């Protein structure tokens, strides 16, 4: 049985097309919370997200509920811990019922807020971290990082009949590299991707 990665990625991508509300200075993730609440049909999810905070205990309750729900429907999810992050990995052939009822974006929001509590531009944070580690020149910016990331993915418009137009193939489908030749997802860079606000300080 194949397993997917982080269970909330699909939920996050699904919400990207909704209209955004400008976050307030005191509640930087307000729009993400409100969107998750508005799109969820789960009373459990709505209750957890209502105060725009997610505690470790609430995350654990959500994850454990997803795990039990999946077991009750005949699936056996893996629980992994990566860099201190406990995650429930959803079997590829499981439906969305358990995550809809017990997650609804809770896990993704929890870790996003702890990685970037002020909702700053993540590319700028990661680029600054790379600079601190002397992996890139001092003038390397978030825009430079985005340019490298853009080279890893293809882009196109899809017509109603499924035809792809204006297609641009990825320049570096296997991954981009810094001017030094180091891959931007090399082991030396992983701390910046996971914890850009704390990595690189002595």
pLDDT digits (tens, 9 = 90+) for 161-174: 878 788 878 888 88
**Domain match, 128 and 108 both:** no
Q: Is residue 8 domain-resident?
A: yes
**Domain match, 53 and 15 both:** yes
Q: Is residue 200 domain-resident?
A: no
User: How many alpha carbons fall within 13 Å on the CB side of residue 69?
Assistant: 19
**Domain match, 111 and 128 both:** no
Q: Is residue 87 domain-resident?
A: yes
Strand pairing class (3-6; 85-91): antiparallel
Q: Which residues of 147-182 are buried (b: 16+ CB within 10 A; e: fewer)?
A: ebbeeeeeeeeeeeeeeeeeeeeeeeeeebebeeee
**Domain match, 177 and 128 both:** yes
CA dist 164 and 162 (Å) reads 6
**Domain match, 66 and 110 both:** yes
**Domain match, 97 and 126 both:** no
Give the pLDDT score at 167. Answer: 80
Q: Is residue 202 domain-resident?
A: no
**Domain match, 172 and 79 both:** no
Find the farthest-apart pair of alpha carbons in the chain and give their distance in angstroms, rounded: 55
**Domain match, 58 and 24 both:** yes
**Domain match, 144 and 73 both:** no
**Domain match, 82 and 136 both:** no
Q: Which of 64, 90, 115 is the last residue of a domain?
A: 115
**Domain match, 92 and 129 both:** no
Give the pLDDT score at 183. Answer: 95
Number of domains making up the chain: 2
Give the pLDDT score at 181. Answer: 93
Residue 69 near residue 102, CB atoms below 8 Å: yes
Q: Is residue 201 domain-resident?
A: no
Residue 70 near residue 91, CB atoms below 8 Å: yes
- What domain range includes position 169? 122-194
Q: Which of 71, 92, 115 is the last residue of a domain?
A: 115
Strand pairing class (164-168; 155-158): antiparallel
Q: Is residue 199 domain-resident?
A: no
Give the pLDDT score at 84. Answer: 75
**Domain match, 101 and 137 both:** no
CA dist 196 and 117 (Å) reads 11
pTM above 0.85?
A: no
Q: Which of 115, 133, 162 is the last residue of a domain?
A: 115
- How high is the mean pLDDT in each 10-residue block of the chain (202 residues)? 35 34 69 96 97 96 96 91 83 93 96 93 96 96 95 82 80 89 94 92 78
């Amino acid at each position: 049985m194949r397993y997917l990665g982080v269970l909330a990625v699909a939920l996050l991508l699904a919400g990207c097309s909704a209209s955004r509300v400008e976050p307030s200075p005191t509640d930087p993730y307000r729009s993400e919370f409100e969107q998750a609440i508005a799109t969820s049909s789960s009373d459990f999810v709505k209750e957890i997200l209502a105060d725009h905070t997610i505690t470790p205990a609430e995350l654990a309750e959500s994850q454990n509920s997803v795990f039990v729900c999946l077991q009750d429907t005949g699936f056996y999810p893996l629980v992994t811990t990566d860099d201190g992050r406990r995650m429930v990995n959803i079997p590829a052939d499981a439906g969305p019922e358990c995550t809809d009822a017990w997650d609804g974006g809770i896990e993704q929001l929890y870790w996003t807020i702890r990685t970037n509590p002020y909702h700053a531009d993540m590319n700028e944070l990661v680029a600054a971290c790379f600079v601190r580690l002397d992996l890139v020149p001092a003038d390397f910016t978030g825009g430079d990082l985005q340019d490298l990331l853009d080279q890893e993915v293809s882009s196109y418009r899809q017509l109603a009949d499924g035809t792809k137009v204006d297609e641009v193939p990825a320049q570096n489908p296997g991954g981009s590299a810094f001017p030094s030749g180091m891959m931007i997802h090399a082991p030396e860079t992983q701390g910046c991707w996971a914890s850009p606000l704390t990595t690189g300080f002595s």
